[in-house]
């Protein structure tokens, strides 16, 4: 910080010197660091500022009178003005490093020394600004870590995630995060779960849903076919005369319940739909006409009631 202030003040000091405002004290004898003399323009500026302040503070107010008193006064004056009772320089000592500091300067010391440390560990703002509460100070600091004992970088870690995680679930691994400052305790690694959509299966809690589309012959005559599950294929049997909207259930083919004590699995629910052809050949159209005259192709009252019950249950959800 001192180097930054010095570099920022050097151009300003050089400009003031060129313009005749200030000069290094005893410059012809090598100068004295930290001491400056007013030049011709500097004297004029100082007098103007002094007169402007006097005009505003003293002459511009009726309740203020000017007084130029000596600094050395009778002790009773200092007592009456409150200087002896209220002015003090309390000292404080770090119990760890035994560093003695003025209490009113702790915030300034912390601001200068503790910016980087407080960024790593917010608790540093409440500790000793000299040693950070550690009882020791790193004098010969490493160029890579600047005495903190940690460097920025990336590392791949292998973790085990339980089955049944859901979208947005945050999983915490204690001690697997960033390294602790100066051999401190490591942080935690938190993993936020994002589910990648499946091409055929949809998730409903711990259940999986699959929409199965049958052809008319498959629905009428029945068939055996394979359906996808979370761990491969499963063979199911479609009974003859299966109606659209029929729901089949494959037990324990769903997702494990991560919040359950028994890790019970859900089911895979198969919703069945029947595909109706959009175009037909003459032979297919003729075959449908023949079927249309049959008695068995007309829905019975029980089938109608069954289909309507599915609709009523759907709209009650």
Q: What is the pLDDT of residue 267?
A: 92
Q: What is the pLDDT of residue 82?
A: 76
**Range(s) within the chain of domains with CATH label 2.60.260.20:** 210-276
| Tokens 């560093």 -> residue | 99
Confidence of residue 126 (pLDDT cuts 50, 70, 90): low
Q: What is the pLDDT of residue 35?
A: 85
Q: Which two tokens stand for residue 164?
A: 């049944």
Beta bridge partners of 92: 101
Among 124-128, 142-146, 180-184, 241-245, name the one with the lowest average pLDDT.
124-128
What's the rounded Cα separation, in Å, for the pair 124 and 130?
10
Q: What is the pLDDT of residue 307?
A: 66
Which residues neighbour 258 within 8 Å (Cβ) at sequence distance 6 or greater?
Answer: 162, 163, 164, 165, 166, 169
Q: Answer yes or no: is pLDDT of 285 > 90.
A: no
Q: Answer yes or no: is pLDDT of 274 > 70.
A: yes
> What's the CATH architecture for 210-276?
Sandwich (2.60)
What's the rounded Cα separation, in Å, for the pair 254 and 248?
13
Mean pLDDT over 159-187 rounds to 81
Q: What is the pLDDT of residue 2?
A: 47
Query: pTM score, two decimals?
Result: 0.49
Q: What is the pLDDT of residue 137?
A: 67
Q: Answer yes or no: is pLDDT of 272 > 60.
A: yes
Note the pLDDT tens digit of each residue in 9-28: 778 888 888 888 888 888 88
Q: What is the pLDDT of residue 262?
A: 65
Instruction: Return the top range by mean pLDDT from 74-83, 85-94, 246-255.
Output: 246-255
Confidence of residue 29 (pLDDT cuts 50, 70, 90): confident
Mean residue pLDDT of the chain comes to 80
């Amino acid at each position: 910080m001192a180097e930054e202030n010095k570099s920022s003040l050097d151009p300003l000091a050089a400009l003031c010197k060129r313009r005749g405002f200030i000069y290094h004290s005893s410059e012809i004898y090598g100068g004295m660091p930290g001491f400056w003399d007013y030049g011709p323009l500097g004297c004029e500026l100082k007098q103007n500022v002094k007169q402007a302040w006097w005009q505003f503070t003293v002459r511009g107010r009726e309740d203020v009178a000017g007084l130029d008193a000596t600094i050395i006064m009778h002790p009773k004056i200092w007592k009456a003005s409150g200087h002896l009772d209220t002015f003090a320089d309390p000292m404080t000592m770090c119990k760890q490093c035994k560093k003695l500091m003025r209490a009113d300067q702790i915030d300034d010391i912390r601001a200068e020394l503790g910016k980087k440390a407080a960024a790593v560990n917010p608790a540093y703002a409440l500790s000793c600004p000299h040693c950070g509460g550690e009882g020791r100070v790193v004098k010969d600091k490493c160029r890579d870590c600047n005495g903190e004992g940690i460097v920025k970088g990336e590392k791949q870690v292998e973790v085990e995630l339980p089955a049944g995680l859901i979208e947005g679930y945050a999983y915490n691994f204690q001690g697997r995060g960033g390294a602790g400052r100066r051999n401190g305790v490591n942080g935690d690694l938190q993993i936020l779960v994002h589910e990648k959509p499946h091409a055929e299966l949809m998730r409903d809690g711990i259940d999986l849903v699959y929409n199965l589309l049958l052809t008319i012959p498959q629905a009428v005559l029945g068939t055996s076919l394979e359906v996808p599950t979370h761990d491969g294929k499963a063979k199911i049997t479609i009974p003859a005369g299966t109606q659209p909207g029929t729901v089949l259930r494959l037990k324990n083919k769903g997702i494990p319940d991560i919040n359950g004590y028994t890790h019970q699995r859900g089911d895979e629910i198969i919703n069945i739909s029947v595909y109706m052809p959009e175009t037909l050949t003459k032979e297919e159209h003729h075959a449908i006409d023949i079927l249309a005259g049959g008695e068995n192709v007309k829905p019975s009252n029980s089938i109608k009631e069954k289909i309507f019950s599915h609709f009523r249950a759907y709209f009650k959800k």
